[in-house]
Structure 1
Amino acid sequence: MTIHRQILALIACAAALLGLLSGDRAMAQQAAGGSFDHLTTAFPLTGAHVSVDCESCHVRGRFKGTPRTCAACHNGTTASGKTVNHAPTTARCDSCHTPSAWKQVRYDHSQAVGACVGCHNGSHARGKSASHIATTASCETCHTSTLHFTAAKWNHDGVTGNCASCHNGTKARGPSRTHIVTKAACETCHTSTTTFSGAKMSHAGITTGCASCHNGTTAKGQSNTHIVTKAACETCHTST
C-alpha cells in the first residue's frame, strides 16, 4: 500500500512538472492538488503580478532560488526596468512603486542622488512656472523642502533679471505709493538685497520737480526761515 502511494505521488509530481513546462498552469495546479498559496513563499502575488505566467519567473519549472527583489526581474531583460530618463536614485523600486502599476508612485526624496532639476523639469515632475523668477541658481538654493514649493528661503544669488522684474508688487514687494517718481532702476539707489532702508539716493532718473520729494516728508523741504517764493526749488538750487 505504501509503495502504491509513492507511485501515485511520483505520477502527480511528474504531471505538475509537465504542466509547468508546457505553460499550462491549470494543469500544474490541478496535478499538485489544487491552487498554490503563494503567500507561503514570502512573495505574495498582488496587483499586476497576479496575471503573470508562472514560467515567467520559474524558468523550466525551477522554484528554488527564484529572486524576490524587484530589480532582479525588472532589469530591462526579464521584465521592464528603469528607463534612461528615470530619476537618479539608489532606493529600491518598491520604495516608490507599487505592484499595481509603475505610474502609481509615492516618491521618496530621501535617496535621490541627482539635483532637483533632474526631475523637476516640467516632464518628469513639476518644474519652473512661466512666471518663475529668472535665475541660474539651483532649485535647492531657495526651495529647501521636499514637501512643497511654497515658503521658499529666498536667495538673490544667480538672479539674472533686474530688481523690477520681481519687485513689481506681484511677485515681490514693489515701490510704495509714496515712492519717489523716477525712471531709475531700483538698484540705482537700493544696493542691499536684505533691506529697502538705507537707500543710497541718486537723483538720476527723477522725472518730477524737486518739491515733489523735498516737501518735508519724503525728503528735507523748505525751512521755516526760507525766503517766501513761488519759484521752483531748481530755479535757485542747481546742485543735487
Structure 2
Amino acid sequence: MYRLSSLILLLLGCFPLLAQSPHGDDLDMDCVKCHHPGGWYINYQTIQFDHSKTDFQLEGTHANVDCKLCHSTMVFDQAPMDCASCHADIHSQSVGNDCVRCHTSETWLVDIIPELHEANGFPLIGVHSNLSCIECHNTDSSNLRIDPLGNECINCHQDDYAATQNPNHQQAGFSTDCVECHNPLGFGWDSESINHDFFPLTEGHDIQDCAQCHTTGNYSDASPECVTCHQEDYTGTMDPNHATSGFSTDCVACHTTSPGWMPAIINHDFFPLTQGHNIQDCTECHTTDNYSDASPECVACHQTDYDQTNNPNHLAANFPTDCVACHTTNPGWTPAEFDHDQYFPIYTGKHRQGETWNDCVECHANPSNYADFTCFTCHLQPEMDDKHSEENGYEYLSSACLECHPDGD
C-alpha cells in the first residue's frame, strides 16, 4: 500500500511533464494545490487556488457557489463573466442584462431605487417617492417585467391631463409639461406656481380668480390687449374723458399696473414738457375734451402773450408767432435769442455787435415796429451821396441800401 501511494505521488508530480492539463494551457499551478493525492477529488477546505487573483472575484453569495455551476468545462478561463450567462433574465430584457446596475452579489433585493431614477433623469421626489413601481411601469403578471418610461410628465399623466375640468387643460391649450404649473415636490395637483411671465401678474393684475380675465373657459384665447378687460374703465373715464379725448386704448402707454390707475405718466415726448411747459393741469393746453386735437404751434397757447408784448411789441414789429425762433421754454420768456443774421448780418461782418452798435434802437428807430429800420444813424449825407455819385438810379433810402447791400458789404 505504501508503494502504491508513492507511485501515485510520483505520477502526479510527473503529470505536467508527461500530459497536457485538462484545464487549459493558461492554468500554471501544481495539481496538489487543489487535488488530493488519494484521487482527483477536491478538498475545498485545503484548496489553495486564489480566485481573487482572477478577473472575477468571488464576493457575497458567489463565494459559496459550487465551481461547476459556473465552470461547465474543465478549461476554467472559458467560464463567462457576464451576469446573463449564469442568471436567467426574469425581467424579459426590459431593463438590460447588466445585473450589477441594480443588484449586488449579496442579494437580489434592490435598495438603490431612488438613486437609479435620479441617474436616469427622473428623481423620485414628492408624491413620486411613495409610489409602487407597478403604478408607473407596465409589468407582466409576475411584476418582474419593468418597461422603461419617458421622463416627460405626460408619459404617465395623459389621462389626468385629459380629465381636467377646472380649467379644462386640453381645451385651454395648456402645456403638457406639468411642472410648468405644478410643484413636483408637492403631494397633489394644487398649483401656486403658474409661470405667467408672458403677461406678468403684478400689483393690480395679481388676482387669484383666473376667470376674471379668462372668461371663455379657454385659457389660450385671452387677449393680452388692455382694452379687452378694461373697455368699461376706458369709456367710464371723466378726468379726462379718454374716449372723447381720443386717448389710446393701450393703457400701458400712461398707466402701470398699480391699483387705482395711479400714478399715470403720459409719454409726452412728441411735445416735451420742459421748464415752463412742465405744468400739472392738462387743461391749460388741452382746452377741449379732445386731447388729440391740441395744436403744437406756440401761438395756439401763447397768442395773448404775443399780443401783449411791449419790449419790443411783437405784433407791431411783425415778429413771427413761432416762439421757438427766439425763446426757449424758460419761464418768463428769457433769455431770448433772435437770429438776426438770417435777415441782415449784425453779429458777423462789418455790422458786428459791439463794434458798430449796441442797442436795437440804433437801427430800429421805431420801437413799435421792428419791421422798420434805418441805415442813416450811421450812414449820413452827403457822404453817402458822394460815394454813390456814379451809381445810376441812386436814392438815399434805407430800403435801397438793403436792396444793394443785403450782406452789409
Structure with greater helix share of residues: 2
Q: TM-score range by the shorter chain?
A: 0.3 to 0.5
- TM-score normalized by the length of structure 2: 0.29
Q: Which has the higher contact order (CA 8 A, sep 6+)?
A: 1
TM-score (ref. length: structure 1): 0.44
